[in-house]
């Protein structure tokens, strides 16, 4: 009888421990999912500071997320109806690490863009008329700190998979200012070829036949397809220096640079590309 009771107690303890471990796993997963949902919500709002606060390496997180801090009307219109849900997760306090995968769903902006809408409002109208959607996955990796706090360990992957998917799109919107503007590269090897060699600055200047609306113009710089800089308003000289690159090199790295001037409605005023040889 005593042996039977002992076996029952051992079984009860084993069940209790199993339930306890399961509860710990559930608590860890719930916490990671909660942080992840807030992280994506902040990404939609361009709240980079809040995103950085929950990353393991805050400096590295800011470096890869900073370029998405500014609002961009076409992307914001897409994100306005964006939804996301957990499709996979695994978090464990024993391993002090975890991951949560979210399936992102948007309205079909790619098909809308193919119809060459005149502006963002027209793009949104087309998106709303489609039943089909676009989905893609983003995965957040977590680490458990010594203070028992879950932090995000891969903001660079998130920047590429989430923001990169939405930003690296060619929107067809033009600006009314575009008809009255010309542009030219300065300080390059050859004015006719827009090629620079071993330089720390590139310079695209634009001239308006009619300066109306000039105060609202700003420019962005893309390097090999990624936005690396956004200027203030009232800019007709598109200078970009090496120390404005994320890692502040002495000279601009080789590759293709595109400077695009944009009006207050986020429509392209003028855009051109140049090549930099290291």
Cα(first)–Cα(last) distance of the chain, in Å? 85
For 80-110, write each residue's pLDDT tens digit. 999 999 999 999 999 999 999 999 999 999 9
For the chain, give every domain's residue range.
20-167, 176-277
Domain range 20-167, CATH class: alpha beta
pLDDT band at residue 18 under the 50/70/90 scheme: very low
pLDDT of residue 23: 42
Counting residues of the chain whose pLDDT is more than 90, the rounded percentage is 61
Q: What is the pLDDT of residues 228-267, one digit of tens each?
A: 999 987 777 889 999 999 888 999 999 999 999 988 767 7
Residues 65-75 pLDDT 10s: 987 887 788 89
Most confident by average pLDDT, 9-18, 19-28, 45-54, 233-242? 45-54
Output the pLDDT for position 209.
64
Q: Can you name the CATH fold of 176-277?
A: Immunoglobulin-like (2.60.40)
Would you say the CATH fold of 176-277 matches that of 20-167? no
Quick one: pLDDT at residue 222?
95
* Cα atoms found within 13 Å of the Cα of residue 145, Cβ hemisphere only: 10
Provide the mean pLDDT of the chain: 86
pLDDT at position 235: 76
């Amino acid at each position: 009888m005593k042996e039977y009771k002992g076996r029952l107690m051992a079984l009860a303890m084993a069940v209790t421990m199993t339930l306890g471990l399961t509860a710990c796993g559930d608590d860890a997963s719930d916490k990671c999912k909660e942080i992840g949902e807030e992280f994506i919500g902040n990404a939609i709002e361009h709240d980079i500071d809040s995103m950085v606060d929950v990353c393991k390496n805050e400096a590295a997180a800011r470096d890869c997320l900073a370029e998405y801090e500014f609002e961009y009307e076409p992307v914001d219109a897409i994100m306005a109806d964006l939804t996301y849900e957990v499709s996979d997760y695994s978090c464990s306090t024993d391993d002090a690490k975890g991951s949560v995968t979210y399936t992102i769903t948007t309205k079909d902006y790619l098909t809308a863009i193919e119809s060459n809408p005149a502006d963002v409002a027209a793009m949104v109208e087309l998106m709303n008329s489609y039943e089909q959607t676009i989905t893609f996955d983003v995965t957040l990796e977590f680490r458990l700190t010594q203070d028992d706090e879950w932090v995000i360990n891969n903001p660079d992957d998130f920047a590429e998979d989430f923001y990169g998917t939405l930003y690296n799109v060619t929107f067809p919107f033009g600006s009314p200012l575009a008809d009255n503007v010309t542009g030219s590269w300065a300080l390059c090897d050859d004015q006719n070829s827009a090629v620079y060699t071993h330089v720390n600055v590139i310079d695209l200047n634009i001239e308006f036949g009619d300066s109306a609306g000039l105060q609202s113009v700003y420019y962005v710089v893309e390097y090999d397809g990624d936005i690396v800089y956004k200027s203030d308003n009232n800019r007709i000289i598109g200078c970009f220096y090496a120390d404005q690159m994320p890692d502040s090199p002495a000279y601009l790295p080789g590759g293709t640079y595109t400077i695009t001037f944009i009006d207050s409605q986020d429509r392209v005023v003028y855009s051109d590309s140049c090549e930099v040889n290291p």
